[in-house]
Amino acid sequence: MLPETIDRVTVLGAGSMGHGIAEVSAMAGYEVVLRDIEEELVQDGYEKIEWSLGKLEEKGRLDEDAETILDRVSTSVNLEESVSDADLVIEAVPEQLEIKEDTLSTVDKHAPDHAILASNTSSLSISDIASATDRPEQVVGLHFFNPPVKMDLVEVIYGEATTDETAELAYEWVESVDKTPIYVRKDVHGFVVNTVLVPFMEEAGWMLSNGETTVREADATMVYERGYPMGPFELNDFGGIDIAYHFRDESDQPVPPIIKEKVDNKDLGKKSGKGFYDYEDGNGVDYEPEDAGGYDALRTEAVMINNAAWLVGNDVATPEEIDIGLRLGGSFPEGMCRRGDRIGLDVVLEKLESLHEEYGEKRYEPANYLVELVEEGFTGDDAGKGFFDYRVDPPYHYLEWELNDDGVLSITLDRQERMNSMSEDMFMEIDRLLTDVKVDEVSCVVFTGAGERAFSSGADITGFTAGEPAEIMDVDEMFQTVYEFPRPTVAKIDGFCLGAGLELALACDIRVATEDSTIGTPETTLGVIPGGGATQRLVRLIGEARTKEMVYRGMQFDAERAEEWGVVNYAVPDEEFKDLVGEIVDDLVSGPPVALKAAKRVIQDGQEASLEAALAMEKQSFAVLATTDDMLEGVTAFRQNREPQFEGE
């Protein structure tokens, strides 16, 4: 028996994970009990929630005032009372199997029969934890990432007895607290993200232990040549070297000697002041671009891709789930399934076979699924299929789109983990969507950004440092596709709209922004210039002087100034934003398609012609439109005092 709905949530453990989970639950409207073994611990967690909510309120990130949300959180040190009427109990107690088993065993006796019991463990067996209860079918893993308020991903993990109904209800609850869930369908050590992520750090550790690389060489190569947000040793220090050590040690897997040495010496990274870098007496993380090169990046990536293949082949997770997990949980620029398809799965397999022959280590044994893909000729991008099928209806990794019955094509830039920054794949996906869509079915296009923080924060600069100059020169093709699309386009801007994000908006016909959005051209602060048309489109919108000032100074300003300068059409308060965009879209939907297409062409092409030539273009288009059925409908509707019903003919 499961709850029909989840209304009341109890979180056990008021530490960093526990109070974070309680906070996101309360923010989503749930009544929450935060419980720990001592009043001091509970109060400390409660105060941290209060502080965090205050900060979020200051930044305008809450839908309600902080006090209202905080009122939904109550505290307790009594375990029995705290779970007595809970629909969902989430334990976030210390990461020791015995403690978690004892906790859920007690919860099982006092929680309602319908309650779902969840563990926030990052690596322990859900099946083992569930075995301490008499309701293992109602036990599920809910692995939040730290800190829960900021991190968007939650792994929903099946134990051996977990029912689909339990997992599905937990999944829906995660969505209700505005997080992105992925299923982990089998109880494997490391679940999805850590199974693929840990080798990023571990393989570098083996290579350093064997004298095959240096710390700075590895980190610089993976960041500046491969586009990762941190290098493997930098990430080890950031998360705690002991974390990677215990992850391997708990599963009786070999640990790189250098990792063990650091743990034995208590050099655990930033938290201890020293790890692979010295944060007390040294400069901390100090690698430079010139340190890159010489590190075998493919060796690391091959192991990660192989682990991803193992997960897919054993029905633990889909390629989509793995890649979302790595993007949201690891802040990777792309998932490893997508990267494998880029590299070529035959190249990956050849590398693994070579490594296995040289070292004989189990971690280099190719996964059966990887071998099967290559043997079938499904080697990735070039073959049209790999982890993903690109042959018919290729997947969209970074866009959400919908074409409704009114012909409104809504395109959402969906890369929230990087504030919708635009990668090479996103450029290609926008271009492909607008090229492939049936234009006759579209009345207008509306671009927006996923989440509440950004339309788009710009181009993903890590992708450019890893790219070839000749390839980078082609990025403006997508912006031109948007600019020339034969239907009206609208940029719906809420939050940051910078760099390439602004260039996408400039390629649109109409720009509407919330008044506190941030508009700007920060490229020169990064040592480059706008590369997607901003230098030219801004000149045509706001003139040479203001364009030069924006670009030269790398200016960023609020949307109210952007409206004043003419960069956006409207800057409006949040509460007016949706309605205004709706009014504009309604006008575009009800407008005459042929006339709007002609108007767009004449306005845009006319800018490149002399006034005489442009006027001739306008006159010619007017003459053609005067013979259309839409024109006759427009005149008839005017005479009959009714709204016209244009058919695009």
Q: Which residues contact 624 (CB under 8 A, 6 or more apart)?
A: 598
User: Which residues face 513 on adjacent strands?
Assistant: 493, 571
> Residues 289, 274: contact at Cβ < 8 Å?
no
> What CA–CA distance (Å, rounded) separates 354 from 221?
21
Q: What is the CA radius of gyration of the chain?
A: 28
Of 93, 122, 116, which is closest to residue 19 (Cα–Cα)?
93
3 state DSSP class of 150: coil
| Percent of the chain scoring above 70 in pLDDT | 97
Of 201, 184, 404, 149, which is closest to residue 312 (Cα–Cα)?
184
> Residues 396, 433: contact at Cβ < 8 Å?
yes
Residue 211 has pLDDT above 60, yes or no: yes
155 a catalytic residue: yes
Residue 556 falls in which region: left (phi positive, over 0), alpha (psi -120 to 50) or beta: beta
- Interhelix angle for 336-343 vs 319-330, to 10°? 110
**Of these residues, 52, 82, 194, 420, which one is catalytic?**
194
> What CA–CA distance (Å, rounded) separates 594 from 517?
34
Residue 87 has pLDDT above 80, yes or no: yes
Cα-flanking dihedrals φ and ψ of residue 582, to 5°?
-60, -40
Residue 631 confidence (pLDDT): 72
Q: Which helix (H) or strand (E) holds 204?
A: helix 193-209
3 state DSSP class of 439: helix
The average pLDDT across 101-109 equals: 96
Q: Which helix (H) or strand (E) holds 462?
A: helix 461-465
| Terminal-residue alpha carbon distance, the chain | 59
Q: pLDDT digits over 327-345, tens only?
A: 999 999 899 999 999 999 9
pTM of this prediction exceeds 0.85? yes
**Of these residues, 122, 127, 420, 421, which one is catalytic?**
122
Residue 473 confidence (pLDDT): 45
Q: pLDDT digits over 601-630, tens only?
A: 888 887 888 888 778 877 777 777 677 777
Task: Choose the weakest-confidence range: 59-63, 178-182, 315-319, 448-452.
Answer: 59-63
At residue 493's C-alpha, the angle toward residues 487 and 495, to 5°, is 160
Q: Which residues contact 243 (CB under 8 A, 6 or more apart)?
A: none
Residue 470 has pLDDT above 60, yes or no: no
143 a catalytic residue: yes
DSSP secondary structure code for residue 222 in this structure: I
> What CA–CA distance (Å, rounded) separates 286 from 470?
30
**Which pair of structure tokens corresponds to residue 577?**
């934003």
| Percent of the chain scoring above 90 in pLDDT | 80
Q: Per-residue b/e over 85-113, b at no fewer than 16 CB within 10 Å?
A: ebbbbbbbbebeeeebbebbebbbebbee
Residue 462 confidence (pLDDT): 67
Residue 645 confidence (pLDDT): 80
Q: pLDDT digits over 357-389, tens only?
A: 999 999 999 999 999 999 999 999 999 999 999
Residue 471 confidence (pLDDT): 53
Residue 468 confidence (pLDDT): 53
Residue 280 confidence (pLDDT): 94
The average pLDDT across 213-232 equals: 95
Taking the alpha carbons of 121, 124, 125, 131 in that order, is the dihedral positive or negative? negative
Q: pLDDT digits over 164-178, tens only?
A: 999 999 999 999 999
Residue 624 confidence (pLDDT): 73
User: Which residues face 519 on adjacent strands?
Assistant: 497, 557
Cα-flanking dihedrals φ and ψ of residue 460, to 5°?
-75, 100
The average pLDDT across 97-106 equals: 96
**Sequence-separated contacts (24+) of 569-572 with Cβ below 8 Å:** 569/510, 569/511, 569/512, 570/511, 570/512, 570/513, 571/513, 571/514, 571/515, 571/517, 572/512, 572/513, 572/514, 572/515
> What CA–CA distance (Å, rounded) separates 188 from 158?
9
Tell me whether residue 561 is exposed, middle or buried, using C-beta atoms within 10 angstroms of its C-beta: 0 to 12, 13 to 18, 19 or more: middle
Residues comprising the chain, all counted: 649
Q: How many helices (H) and strands (E) does the chain have?
A: 29, 18
Residue 579 confidence (pLDDT): 97
Residue 5 confidence (pLDDT): 87
Q: Cα torsion at 102, 105, 111, 117 (round to 10°)?
A: 90
**Of these residues, 155, 321, 424, 503, which one is catalytic?**
155
> What CA–CA distance (Å, rounded) separates 98 from 79?
17
> What CA–CA distance (Å, rounded) separates 89 from 103?
11
Of 130, 133, 132, 179, which is closest to residue 157 (Cα–Cα)?
130
78 a catalytic residue: no
Q: Which helix (H) or strand (E) holds 46?
A: helix 39-58
Q: pLDDT digits over 260-310, tens only?
A: 999 999 999 999 999 999 999 999 999 999 999 989 999 999 999 999 999
Mean pLDDT of the chain: 92
**Which pair of structure tokens corresponds to residue 546?**
């203001």
Q: pLDDT digits over 509-565, tens only?
A: 999 999 999 999 999 988 889 989 999 999 999 999 999 999 999 999 999 999 999
> Residues 129, 119: contact at Cβ < 8 Å?
yes
3 state DSSP class of 31: strand
Task: Choose the weakest-confidence range: 35-44, 138-147, 222-231, 246-255.
Answer: 246-255
Cα-flanking dihedrals φ and ψ of residue 64, to 5°?
-130, 170
Q: pLDDT digits over 109-159, tens only?
A: 999 999 999 999 988 999 999 999 999 999 999 999 999 999 999 999 999
**Of these residues, 143, 301, 397, 503, which one is catalytic?**
143
At residue 385's C-alpha, the angle toward residues 347 and 442, to 5°, is 135
Read off the pLDDT band of 475 (50, 70, 90): low
Q: Which residue has the tokens 């210390």?
A: 94
Residue 420 falls in which region: left (phi positive, over 0), alpha (psi -120 to 50) or beta: left
Task: Choose the weakest-confidence range: 228-232, 405-409, 415-419.
Answer: 415-419
User: Which residues face 67 on adjacent strands?
Assistant: none
